[in-house]
Structure 1
């Protein structure tokens, strides 16, 4: 007779139970037998199989491993000696030296640096440029073309001002690429001096690997690279000027390192610099107003003016509603203030939308992917594949790279089956913002002068470039995942609003969309019903207890 209904009992026969127990015991016996044969059964750490003999360049790999081990041991020994010397230099308890030092410290007044004050005669960038004798244009050495502004260069020629290109963050760029950029600027703009520069290690981000700052060691505030060449160039201008100290205006885009350059020249962190992991968006630039600073080096007095980042003309009339242009994306990526990967609508972006800083208009995938695709479209596909260990993709299809990156990083949509391309785009933007996306660019093609003997680089350039590392050395010591080469872009040609002054506005609370309001109202209604049901259940429980007590 066929079974009428589904079987509800889990009872089994004794034969089936004994068969299951027999299989379990057999599998455990087999595991114990294999564990006895395993030579690593006593250790929790797996044994290092070593480098196979069939691997090419085995001797070179072993030599590199031994050299790295030796370097780590040397650094450990130096740190131990420094700690020992510091402990020996401290005065012993109860000794007379300690009391003498206390008496001296109580009588001698410690000179504190004078506070930096704003100059009301320099209210904006135009006044700073008019007052300055030299314009120090700070740009990122990894991608100088993006930071160049042809309008500023033409303005310097019109006003007969001296201008110097300072290629900051040169320690993140390979040495051979730096040499190419120097040759490019010497050939295209021979009248403008170019100096590679790296700020003092005290002002380098701790979490970003740097070639000249060993891990865990802060070298100091006066170890900037290129500071001698910069001061020599400014001293030459001082000798040519008889009216008094030379005034230098430090200009450039936001987050190019203007304040850190002045701090390196001062040897103290007097000016506030932008922090990479900062989430606040109170202003479009860290330096709100031009800040004059006086520096005395080697008997020469120099007046520096730290200026705000460029604000381009016409940002008030930009139509940003559902209209993301190339300039919006470029400004958002280059300036990169705040957590751009988390700003998904106009309310969260705040004032950034008004200044063409963040084209994040909707909460859809399209907005986040636009920023990520701008980076992917400029990147070399082979370098991206090696850095992120993703499968091959078509360079004309950045979406395929985001899909592969989502699979590698584990970004999945609800259910775990479909890759989350938006999550992968946020991860890529976070790497860009935190400095974990190591990149560089080659200069565009140019024609070198052909008539007469002409050298694009000098011996002083070679001596300065020797302080920086090549691409192979950078990938070996700092960026083990590999560097990523970006395609160069054309310099910026938009005019700069020289009289722009940053203002602070309190943001009023924005009204919630109708869909979100309805969902919140539904949740409140459900909470009220659950609370009423709990109250009724408690009352019924109390009534049941009273009746039970009365019956007894």
Structure 2
């Protein structure tokens, strides 16, 4: 029997519902405030680590430390090996001498054993002794081996093996001129010393931007002018026919120049159809020219062809296109390729046949002369330099700090042509641009790109950095049409050049003679005449 004056300890249902309703309202308010907060916060939860109550925690931590220690030891070993290889000191020579002495002692012991065996055989069977002597001489010949590659020049059916790295990985920050200079001294000079022919790969959208006069001067001066230089205009499917022909006509006044379409474009790329300049025709023409030059030299060794150029101009794709001609048109993977810059990190040697081998080099930004005014405006020049490298596709995404100046430079370049400017706006579905918001056309452009492509942060705030990276990626892959118009040089005769020698009217007469002679050596004279309009 319940007493009338006692109270129940149970919580009323209406009070519990009130608490749940207040909690839900508080959570809704917190979510609403989080959406309005423009500050970016990662959704990834922090790793809690290994719980202290886990029975094998000490063992797991010891294994992790052991892996770190092994990795550090391996890195130190590689650094020491690179130092020893670079220094080439007496220790290495002494070690090699000791190894040679040991090998000689082993060979003497084996010869003594052979002599004893020969003596035993001679006493029993003279024919067996003669056979053993012939086998010993054959082994000695194979061990020494003939010097040089005396293979057949016409052996084109040999399978092309994958490239072999002949140096350690080389990394450089192309934004820093000092780092570019070190990479230039380390990579380009190695290629120049080892190669007989230099293929200088240029981007057809901006050939002068990817061209260095210093490189051309050093190639011309190397070994008293014995080196040969050929300009390769790559990515020709990204420019129209009149622009391509104008650049070919301009560059052929300085060096032999050949067009090349090394690979298929990226998806949704805006390309132009050049009927004669296909991947098969251009690569076969270049390979045939190199093989004819190698055959004309009649050397006992193979001809080395070094491929140089800015990052992401298609050097490795050029080598793959050349080697695919030997694999009966099948795709070649002699050199790794990628859409981003910095895929090739070491000098790589690809053997084409017994007469020809190609050296693939990492892309480097060739240093330019810096005057006093540039040193005074160092910060401004650094931003402009990075923006120019982004438009040249010479920087990997990991080295891009701020892509917005590059977008500004791209808008300024495309605004000079109303057709290209309209195509840019149509590509992103933008009606028009104006000085809205902060009064900057670039900001308005990136805001609209962010909204069209979904590059938004919390609260719907446009992420301008992500939008700028999207524009830079589309420009790199050719989804945005744009190019630099070829210069028009005034053509004068020899009498006028004598009267006004200081005027810049193009290459000198000596260089014209060199271009003609080199074109005849590679049998490039007269190629593509019907399509280039020359």
Give the structure-1-normalised TM-score.
0.47
